[in-house]
A and B are shown apart, each in its own frame.
Chain A
Amino acid sequence: MALERTEVEKIAHLARLGLSEADLPRTTETLNNILGLIDRMQAVDTTGIEPLAHPLETTQRLRADAVTESNQRDAYQTIAPAVEEGLYLVPRVIE
């Protein structure tokens, strides 16, 4: 099943990736080539096979619900694009 341009635009939006009109044909073609490779999976008989999510099939380890980290906000914000009074700045969201 080949992707149409509109579907590629929708995927780019879901992934929050800007995609120019000029890039759309090439991106659509490349994605379809990759999906062609992936679609070879459909020929494999997996009846009765359980999916494998973790190679060692272990369950998530839990830890005690205790504070282990100290506040390092200032250190972490030294690498932020824009901060003010400890807050991360983004364009206005609410008018």
Chain B
Amino acid sequence: MMKDSDMHNLTLAEIARNLAEKHFSAEELTRTLLARIEQLDPQLNAFISVTDELALAQAKAADARRAAGENGALLGAPIGHKDLFCTQGIRTSCGSKILDNFNAPYDATVVERLAAAGTVTLGKLNMDEFAMGSANESSYYGAVKNPWDLTRVPGGSSGGSAAAIAARLLPAATGTDTGGSIRQPAALTNLTGLKPTYGRVSRWGMVAYASSLDQGGPMARTAEDCALLLSAMAGFDAKDSTSVDQPLDDYLAALSQPLAGLRIGLPKEYFGAGLDPKIADAVMASVEELKKLGATVKEISLPNMQHAIPSYYVIAPAEASSNLSRFDGVRFGYRCENPADLTDLYKRSRAEGFGDEVKRRIMVGTYALSAGYYDAYYLKAQKIRRLIKQDFVAAFEQVDVILGPTTPNLAWKLGEKNADPVSAYLEDIYTITANLAGIPGLSMPAGFIDGLPVGVQLLAPYFQEARLLNVAHQYQQVTDWHMRAPAGF
């Protein structure tokens, strides 16, 4: 029997083999990880809620299903959910005071599908408030620390998911990505994270930030584990009006495809001013590895990349200002004390319930959509959005995947970018374009600089998640960056 001290280092794929061979039960694994969370999470603050009762019930049910002959790859697999996926009867806070008392009345489709596959939910993970942030410092529940250096940010907004997996408190978790919120924290904590094509994963029950950009996806240590999770998460859902009714690829089967002949595009705009030169070196080293596997490389251009951030900071706040109007202190969530009248109830409930960054984005969005400004802001941003999409369409006529750095900088110090929100917005320069265009993107571990992880981003045409997972998996067969664990965890 495997020692408790080893279980937490296993990937989902390894857990599946061990459970199938009865080296341990789902219940034993769950108890081991719950004890580890209790012991280590106070250093990280990755969890908003630990759902131990639910986890043990799900683990026992998984063991019973396995005893009855089932052998699904995720049966008994421990995971966590970013705290914006609704979980029935369990607090779904979105990292906000306004939803601190919100026990969701239903499960999100992603939660329901993963539970049906037999996953065990260990808890709900910390995040930037309403997924607005790149450092996980805007949470009502406090900042999350990066396990690679506890004085640094883990990235955001899925920072709790990232920190928990990197510290081996969990093998995998869900995240969401509106401007880079899966890929950027994955890069800063040495994980593999995938943002699927817009519409590939149901948004039903996933609390909305910017509806035309939001997409849920898997975060784990390996591409193989992301493939396992995506296979269960993705697919058509009639409850989501933007869900795409198109068959899923066999993500696991695609992993083993050889890379011979793969055409990789390196966008010159991704290697310009603003990129840490050491990150550029690490990215180019990953390109050399992929060349050894048979890939060919070509320089390409995405000339409108530089316009993505201004465009995003109109579209996302505009959609957020509309989506977040539902938080009014009337039907659920926080209500202020002793409201004088209805307007006072709305204004004070929202002022007291939302944090500063959320209020800023609501106000930017409200302004951009207000009478007289729509053409100059929202419509202009949507035109730029088309230019960005056209850049990708043209690039994918020449290459199969696009490769570059996930982030321009390594994980920064807690508090370093708090004084100036605009400086933090610029960290999303390489990830935001995929959300605006709706294409899939993946970040994978590609080395370390001064002990901090570097991520490489891969982008592919619509619905080619299988290709991204394939390239990352093949890279992970010849490198071991993704296997490295932070000291102390």
Contacts and interface: CB of A to CB of B under 8 A. Distances in A.
A37 B387 contact: no
Please classify how large the interface on chain B is, using the bins under 10, 10 to 19, 20 to 34, 35 or more: 35 or more
A41 B101 contact: no
B259 interface: no
Interface in A15-49: 15-19, 27, 30-31, 33-42, 44, 46, 49
A51 B352 CA distance: 36
B339 A91 contact: yes
Q: Most B CB atoms within 10 A — which of A30, A75, A76?
A: A30
B382 interface: yes
B385 A52 contact: yes
Contacts, number: 164
Q: Most A CB atoms within 10 A — which of B103, B351, B379?
A: B351
B387 A46 contact: yes
Contacts of B331: 76, 80, 88
B385 A38 contact: no
Please classify how large the interface on chain A is, using the bins under 10, 10 to 19, 20 to 34, 35 or more: 35 or more
Contacts of B348: 18
B114 interface: no
A34 B364 contact: yes
A49 B387 contact: yes
Contact of A11 (B241, B370, B385): B370
Nearest to A83: B331
A27 B422 CA distance: 13
Contacts of B342: 90-91, 93
B309 A17 contact: no
Interface stretch (B77-85, B355-363, B395-403): B355-363
A14 interface: yes
B360 A81 contact: no
Nearest to B435: A55
A60 interface: yes
Given A33-B420, A79-B103, A53 B382 contact: yes
Contact of A55 (B212, B354, B421): B212
B321 interface: yes
A38 B314 contact: yes
A24 B317 CA distance: 20
B422 A37 contact: yes
Contacts of A82: 335
**Closest 8 pairs (CB-CB, A-B):** A55-B438, A18-B351, A51-B382, A81-B335, A46-B383, A52-B386, A18-B347, A16-B346
13 contacts: A12-B363, A16-B325, A16-B328, A16-B343, A17-B350, A34-B313, A51-B383, A51-B385, A52-B385, A52-B386, A61-B241, A79-B103, A80-B332
